[in-house]
Amino acid sequence: MILRIKGNTRFNYTYAQTLCMLFFPGAKFGEDETETPDTPVVELTMTAEISAIYAEASIKLGDKIAYGNAREEYRPVGAGLGGDKVFIRDRCDKIAAGRAIFNAGREFFGEEALPPWGILTGVRPTKLAWEFASHGMNREEITAALTESYLVSEKKARLCTEVAANEKRLLDASHPRSCGVYISIPFCPTRCAYCSFVSYSTPRLLSLIPDYLAALDEQLPRTFEMIEELGFKPGTIYIGGGTPSVLSEEQLVSLMNTVGACTDVSELSEFTFEAGRPDTVTAGKLAVARAGGVTRVSVNPQTLDNSILEAIGRRHTAEDFFRAFELARASGIPCINTDLIAGLPGCSYDSFSATVDGILALRPENLTVHTFCAKRSAELMQDREQMREFLTGNRELGRCIDYSQSRAAECGYIHYYMYRQKNAVGNFENVGFSLPGMEGLYNIYIMEETEPIFAVGAGSVTKCVDDGGRRIARFAPPKYPYEYLEFAADKARLDGLYNDIRRFYDKNENSEVTK
């Protein structure tokens, strides 16, 4: 599609593209694209006034054209509530542009096509609710600000304020020098058709696992030593993937022994093992995890519809999941998480609601409902037209999302965690639910960026956080196992990564690394 911006040359072009994608999901923007009758064209004109910004937008496709406008004053939201710095000038510019494009979209597509999150495009909508709260606004005032300024639906605005309040309660109780540790196991028994993660499933690549674990055995002690040197204390550990339960019992024993030698796991607030695929779960592996100190395990069906499981390449059945869940419950691991995906190809409201009911009947301590995300590198998304159909075609998805949230609440679960992803079908959210007191802490810490996460392994990212979240930097080794093993064997490169992390926290360094 074509996007033209006139007037305010300071305006963020990438942000304007994101606004366009609210109505044209998966759109690609070309500087030299030729305008044809099938080419969507969005024009945005920004006019700066003394105390406000005025935006005009138009959407054109073929012979049809629609217009929208908005004016945003450079003033605080919640004036008199200590919110004099809530809306800075750049934010007002974005709100005006967003509202103008949103209004043009309403005129062009109709009310039914309006995105439920309005003009909020970020991954972490709760951060905005937090910011408003820090300026003295209560829940009702925050909800009003989200609906009035950002055009968020009231249902989503209330969800956002509720999640933000639950997160804050848990974060206020965390240790000020706590940190997380992420251990990456980027291998899977097979690759799901919707997956874009860096995970490896061919026999040749799976043969790398012994060498990969040997590299972790060397780097984990060094990482925990650095954590202690920097004055942090591990509060959560997350073994993720990929599918960590692809490891054999013997390999898992070795990994758990290494972790146990590095830190006192009994002092952790949470230790998660992402078993993931039910077809890899055994009683023996769960017993090893439990003996190693694991307190939270994920067993993820994604759906209980066997025809959909087959279509997306999961290579297991709903019956396999129920078996794996029973093994997890019998293992004595106190917290079980299950992941579901709303909006999978072929999924109907009846199918998804039956899946939600089936999972809630098991009473897992955690339930995470993801919205299907159309990743361009996934097998399902190689056909561009098919990708567009996924992004725009599931008319029942909103009902599915609503059902999961209302049904979970009815069953006594709280909404404690939320984030959004680019190219999520319907522009919906991912939400974590838990029984009271069983929230997944690592999920909150990694998403809200309130404490550092030190990561080890291929495709992992160490996220350094300092100054109350005002300074954030990311450091990553290579993504692919072959390259990672070469990196791990190169002392100079490995030293360089650890030294970069240390320099971030060195107050004597004039670091310009910021969020």
Q: What is the pLDDT of residues 220-238, one digit of tens each?
A: 999 999 999 999 999 999 9
Three-class DSSP category at 310: helix
Highest mean pLDDT, choosing among 308-322, 346-360, 367-381, 417-431: 346-360
> Which range among 25-34, 72-81, 100-109, 168-177 shows the weakest confidence by mean pLDDT?
72-81
Q: Cα(219)–Cα(232) distance, rounded to whole angstroms?
A: 17
pLDDT at residue 415 in the model: 95
- Does 423 or 400 have the greater pLDDT score? 400
390 pLDDT more than 70: no
Q: What is the mean pLDDT of the chain?
A: 87
> Which range among 130-134, 193-197, 421-425, 455-459 shows the weakest confidence by mean pLDDT?
193-197
- Cα torsion for 195, 196, 202, 206, to the nearest 10°? -100
pLDDT at residue 493 in the model: 95
- Residues whose CB is less than 8 angstroms from the CB of residue 493 and which lie 6 or more positions away in sequence, other chains included: 487
Give backbone dihedrals phi and psi of 123, rounded to 5 degrees, phi first. Answer: -70, -35
Q: Cα(352)–Cα(343) distance, rounded to whole angstroms?
A: 8
Q: Cα(468)–Cα(131) distance, rounded to whole angstroms?
A: 13
Give backbone dihedrals phi and psi of 100, rounded to 5 degrees, phi first. Answer: -65, -45
CA distances from 301 to 222, 279, 324, 345, 358 (A): 35, 10, 10, 15, 11
Q: Burial code of 241-255, b = ≥16 C-beta within 10 A, e = fewer?
A: bbbbbbbeeebbbbb
Mean pLDDT of 466-470: 79
DSSP 99-168: HHHHHHHHHHH-GGGS-TTTT--SS-THHHHHHHHHTT--HHHHHHHHHHHS---HHHHHHHHHHHHHHH
Mean pLDDT of 360-379: 83
- If one counts every other C-beta atom within 10 angstroms of the C-beta of residue 94, the result is 22
Render pLDDT for 151-205 as a digit per residue (tens, 0 to 9).
999 999 999 999 999 998 999 888 889 999 999 999 887 766 556 554 455 667 7
Enter the DSSP assignment of 219: H
Mean pLDDT of 477-481: 90
Q: Cα(200)–Cα(160) distance, rounded to whole angstroms?
A: 36
- Residues whose CB is less than 8 angstroms from the CB of residue 480 and which lie 6 or more positions away in sequence, other chains included: 198, 458, 459
Enter the DSSP assignment of 468: G
CA distances from 494 to 98, 230, 501 (A): 44, 18, 11
Strand duo 453-456 + 178-185: pairing: parallel
Domains and CATH numbers, the chain: 1-113 (3.30.160.100), 172-456 (3.80.30.20)
Strand duo 471-475 + 462-466: pairing: antiparallel
Is the distance from CB of 45 to CB of 11 less than 8 angstroms? no
Render pLDDT for 77-104 as a digit per residue (tens, 0 to 9).
444 344 444 456 778 888 999 999 999 9
Minimal CA–CA distance to 295: which of 440, 451, 455? 440
515 pLDDT more than 90: no
pLDDT at residue 99 in the model: 95
Q: Cα(122)–Cα(419) distance, rounded to whole angstroms?
A: 9
Cβ burial, residue 22 (10 Å; 0-12/13-18/19+): buried
Is the distance from CB of 333 to CB of 381 less than 8 angstroms? no
511 pLDDT more than 60: no
Is the distance from CB of 499 to CB of 489 less than 8 angstroms? no
Which 3-state string (H, E, C) describes 222-251? HHHHHHHHCCCEEEEEEEEECCHHHCCHHH
